[in-house]
Amino acid sequence: MKSRRRVTNTIIFILLLIGAVFMIGPLLWMLSTSLKDKQDVFALPPVWIPNPFQFGKYKEIWEAGPLLSGIKNSVIIAVSVTLIGTFTSSLAAFAFAKLKFPAKNKIFLLMLSSLMIPYPAVMIPQFFMFSKLGWVDTLLPLIVPGLFGNIVMIFFLRQYLSSVPNAIIEAAKIDGSSYFRLYSSITFPLIKPAVAAQLILWFMGIWNDYLSPIIYLNSPEKQTLQLVIANFNATYAIQTDYPLIMAASIIALLPMLIIFLIFQKQIIESVAISGVKG
């Protein structure tokens, strides 16, 4: 019995390994292409290990297009939204979970049901709202809505807060603690890990977003990183400069990959919890 189990496990391990090759292979190929010279790209059979390694493209891309300003814009949007938005979201989650006020649950349900409304269904009027304000081709339409908070995060933190005993909060209340202090010095420290995981997921979502930036941002120097690399693709594919395109894509992918590798435990846990809770 035991040896049969070991054989099965070995087979499964090998299958998982083959699967892993398929998952990571295209990304490695992308990396390898970015390090080839132009002729090697079209070599048949394919060359996996470039000979010699050409790091030139990683220098060239900074001059080839507004990559640096793309990174800067993406960082500005993602950082300002996640920092302020996390504050407003966690404050609201605290109120929903631990404070008593009329119509609380009705408002919460209203927010939850608004999750049913997809972005494409509201993007056209939103565009006109921002265009009336003269905000098209600025980063503001991508920043301002996020500052008001994120409903998914509120929902998640509210669930998490239900495991924080009310007694702690009641005791502090009796001690005359202000409501903001209840949030900032008692609740927030307790939910920090959940906040961090949600913040990272949100950050990744904004960093990788494509639809809303493409609607609002026209001038190359205003565009986010995702738009910049998409434009690289459109421009340099005609010149078949695939190493350059792949190098730019690697740059777009790398920051999230690093964040993921550092925080993978928290991210994976957070995803797993949100899924199981539905």
Partner 1 sequence: MNQKSNLYRKEKIYGFLFILPPLLGLLIFTLYPMIYSIYGSFTDWDGLGQMNLVGLSNFKDLWTDELFHKALFNTLFMMLGIPIGIVLALLLALGLNRGVPGTTAFRVIYYVPVISSLAAVSIMWNWAYNGDYGLVNQFLDLFGISGPNWMANKYTVKPALIIMAVWKGVGYTMLLYLAALQSVSRSYYEAAELDGAGSFKAFWHITWPMVRPVTFFIIVTNIIGGSQIFTEMNIMTPTGGPEYASASVVFYIWQKAFGNFQMGYASAMAVVLGAFIFVVTLIQFRMNEKQSFDVD
Q: Which of residues 19-38 bind partner 1 (CB under 8 A)?
A: 19-20, 22-27, 29-30, 33
User: Smallest distance from the beta carbon of 55 to partner 1, in angstroms?
Assistant: 19
Side chain identity at residue 51, one-letter code: N
Residue from 54, 138, 184, 208 touching partner 1 (CB under 8 A): that is 208
Q: Which of 79, 99, 171, 262 binds partner 1 (CB under 8 A)?
A: 99
| Selected binder of partner 1 within 54, 88, 177, 184 (CB under 8 A) | 88
> According to the binding rule CB under 8 A, does residue 125 interact with partner 1?
yes
In this chain, which stretch among 52-60, 64-72, 120-128, 189-197 interacts with partner 1, using CB under 8 A? 120-128
The residue (of 76 and 235) whose beta carbon lies closer to partner 1 is 235
- Yes or no: say if 245 and 233 are a contact pair by the CB < 8 Å rule: yes
Tell me how crowded residue 223 is: count the other CB atoms within 10 A of its CB: 25
Least distance from partner 1 to the Cβ atom of residue 244, Å: 11
Q: Closest by alpha carbon to 82, among 147, 128, 152?
A: 147
Provide the sign of the torsion angle of the four alpha carbons 143, 148, 149, 155, taken in this order.
negative
Let me know if 140 is exposed, middle or buried by CB neighbors in 10 A (0-12, 13-18, 19+): middle
Site for partner 1 in 57-86 (CB under 8 A): none
In sequence order, what are the residues at sequence separation of 6 or more whose Cβ sits closer than 8 angstroms to the Cβ of residue 117?
A: none
- CA–CA dist 177, 167 (Å, integer): 14
Among 52, 134, 189, 275, contact with partner 1 (rule: CB under 8 A):
275
Q: Is residue 232 within 8 Å of residue 65, measured between CB atoms?
A: yes
Binding region for partner 1 (CB under 8 A) out of 57-65, 75-83, 190-198, 247-255: 247-255
